[in-house]
Amino acid sequence: MNSPIAIPPENDEKFESLVGGLSEESKLELLEYWRSITKRKWAILALGIVIAVVATAIVYALTPVYRSTATVLIEQKPMKLLSIDDVYGGITEQKEHYQTQVEIIKSREVGLRVVKALRLWDVPEFDPRLAEKSQLAQWKATLGIGEEKKPWTDERLANSAWSHFNRQLSVEPVRLSQLVKVSFESEDPKLASLVANTVAREYIDSDREARFKMTQQANTWLQDRTQSLRDKLASSEQALQDYRDKQGIASLSGSAQTMVGEQIAQITQRLMEARTHLAETESAYNQVKAIKNGDYSSVPAIIRAPNVADAKRQESEAALKVAELGQRYGAEHTKMIEAQSQLKVARDNLNRQMQAVADSLTHEYDTAKNTVRAFEAALGSAKTTVQSQNRQEFQLGVLDREVQSNKQLYDMFMNRAKETNVSDDLQTSVGRVVDQAVPPTVAVKPQKTQIVGIAFVLGLFGGVLVSLLLDKLDNTIKGMEDAERRLHVPVLAALPELGEKEGKTAVTAFLDKPDSVLAESVRTARTGVLLSDLDVPHKIVLVTSSLPGEGKTTTCTNLALAHSQTKRTLLIDADMRKPQVAVRLSLPPGSKGLSNLVSGTAQLSECIHRVPKSTLDVMPVGDIPLHPLELILSLRFRETLAKLSQVYDIIILDSPPVELVSDALVLSPMATSTIFVARAMSTPTPLVRKGLVRLKRSGGKLLGLIINHLDFQKSQRYYGEYSGYGGKYYGKDKYGYHYGYGAKHQEAS
């Protein structure tokens, strides 16, 4: 009911097969892009061809450019016969070294060497002086615009030519190798090969000169440094000798220290022995000093003395003899007296011997103490001597080490200076040419086929973008599907575009051409009206639009004529500001109408007019009131409309546009349903949406949308719009019937 059945065209069927796995929303969006491209496919193709033709003309007018390439091998390390890495600053890792050499080949220094070697500024391709002779330069000179001219020197010419030279030079490392491709492009193939070979040669010469210059600088520095080291070594040796003379050191290689050490060891050993002996004598001495009565018989050291022991034995023998004689003889016996005398002599001898030993022990103790003191003094003197010698040895060692250090540094620099002098004539280059450049026979630029192909593709791509942009910027309603998708409102029907001449008489096309596409579209809209509000016996249908000129009046009259075939139908022209119904239906001038009926100046029979050859009643505006909105808002208008709805089954109101006046907003709540008319490819979608929102807010019940002035063939071709009654299918036996008299009776029944 809302829209006719859509039959996808052949292009859309292909499109569906390509995007079958996407969501519906994505399919719709991609389908819009596809239709936008297909509807302008010939224009897009023409744009691509035009751009390709222009590109062809341009590329064939360009001067061919030739490229020649020389291959250079970059050695990982320079070949050296002597180890002088410190002079060259060391060699970086292979990858960094390789990349560094590539950048050196592309450097300005190497480029200027090539430019100067070949005097490229004399070649017209690189001559900057030719720019001064151009027409633009002459105009600037005439007008006094631009910089003041400076005299051309070789240096300035070389710098200017280098800029052009650098743009045409390319240095490309070969992947996974130590090879570098040095290429140069020129309009002259011989010059291209010459420059490529010269770049390789100048790079090698530049590297060799840089190494030679570095060696010379290192040699000069080494010579200066060696002289200062020689002076420093002589000064340190002189300081060492002066110290030896001052301290009186003949030689201090370690023997003196050894002798003093042995002496200290011996004194220490003797001191330990003396202290041990002192400890032993001190014990006996203390025991002797403890005896007060002169009886040393309790002192072990004295008793153990040999002479004391012998005296003790003699004293024992004399005492034994006295004891034996005392038993035999009396005290006065001569033998007894003699024995007593011998015992006394033995005892006196014992006392003398013990006293002598005691005196010797005292003397020995004093001697031991003196000996210990003497050894301690000797040990202290030896230590003092060692400490003095250690200080001398330390200072001498400092001076000697300084001499040795200066001597080693001097020897090292002397050796490096000799190596540098020897290596002056042994410099090797970091690279070598493995493949010379030869003059090319085929130009590399311009690549005519590729450029023309790319231009054609870019033209097509640009055309596609322009087409999509035009559709994005075009916010008008394209057709039925487009209107339903954008406005979310059902579309009752789509009326065809009739053209300017045929459109003037289309107000009664339903009667005049019942088999036309317009008549079929009106029947579709009529079906939608009849199927809405089935329980309402009397219907009031309001027809409005956004702006004038959208075919609202034509739609109203034909829709009313269609309803009049089966229903009592009244068409009311409610546009009291710019009425069109009376003029379009050729009613007599001054015919009474709606304003006269509401104001009470005319009867109903005077305001009703019959359309010839139909059963449709029409009520024109009549006399145009001064205040149309007040008339519509009046109670008389509502009562009049209510009375008319009791007489007629369907009343169709032709109201003013929504965007110009508010009459339609006032009338919409009085109607049972509202139909909104929009002109295809003309009315902006936001404007239609705004009008629909305003109608809903005013209380109107929207039935649907009618798309007017729709070009079915164009819509079918561009937007996929197909209608069961339009385009190439209408009037043929595709569905087994066509709309004629029989169809009318069939529908009426």
Map out the domains of the chain as residue ranges. 40-62+446-474, 66-219+430-435, 267-425, 480-731
Rounded Cα gap, residues 63 and 55, in angstroms: 14
Instruction: Please tell me what DSSP assigns to residue 5.
Output: P
Q: What is the pLDDT of residue 415?
A: 73
Which tokens belong to 633? 């808002």
Question: pLDDT for 107-156, tens place per residue?
Answer: 888 888 898 898 888 888 888 887 765 555 556 555 556 555 678 888 88
Rounded Cα gap, residues 410 and 225, in angstroms: 9
**H/E element, 345:** helix 334-422
Instruction: Please tell me what DSSP assigns to residue 694.
Output: H
Of the candidates 729, 685, 728, which has an alpha carbon nearest to the alpha carbon of residue 705? Answer: 685
Question: pLDDT for 683-709, tens place per residue?
Answer: 888 999 999 999 999 999 999 999 998
User: Under CATH, what is the fold of the domain 66-219+430-435?
Assistant: Bacterial polysaccharide co-polymerase-like (3.30.1890)
Kindly give the pairing relationship between strand 609-610 and strand 702-710: unpaired
Output the CA torsion sign for 500, 505, 510, 516: negative
| Residue for token pair 């890792």 | 93
Of the candidates 655, 629, 668, 511, which has an alpha carbon nearest to the alpha carbon of residue 571? Answer: 655
> Domain spanning 480-731: which CATH class is it, in words?
alpha beta
Answer whether 721's CB lies under 8 Å from 6's CB.
yes
Answer whether 311's CB lies under 8 Å from 348's CB.
no
Rounded Cα gap, residues 458 and 645, in angstroms: 64
Those residues with Cβ within 8 angstroms of residue 514's Cβ, 6 or more apart along the chain or in another chain:
739, 740, 741, 744
Neighbours of 388 (CB within 10 A): 12
Low-confidence ranges of the chain (pLDDT < 70): 1-25, 28, 76-93, 132-149, 223, 237, 240-241, 244-245, 247-257, 259-260, 290, 292-298, 301, 386-398, 401, 410, 413, 416-430, 713-749
303 residue type, one letter: I
Question: pLDDT for 564-593, tens place per residue?
Answer: 999 999 999 999 889 999 988 989 888 999
Residues pairing with 185 in the sheet: 67
Which tokens belong to 94? 């292979």
Of the candidates 549, 533, 539, 528, which has an alpha carbon nearest to the alpha carbon of residue 708? Answer: 549
Those residues with Cβ within 8 angstroms of residue 6's Cβ, 6 or more apart along the chain or in another chain:
480, 481, 720, 721, 722
* 3-state SS, residue 495: strand
**pTM higher than 0.85 for the full model?**
no
Which tokens belong to 622? 């009549």
Name the burial class of residue 449, with classes exposed (0-12), middle (13-18) and buried (19+) by CB atoms within 10 angstroms of its CB. exposed
Answer whether 349's CB lies under 8 Å from 310's CB.
no
Q: What is the pLDDT of residue 747?
A: 39
DSSP string, 127-174: -GGGGGGSHHHHHHHHHT-SPPP----HHHHHHHHHHHHHHHEEEEEP
Of the candidates 679, 707, 677, which has an alpha carbon nearest to the alpha carbon of residue 692? Answer: 677
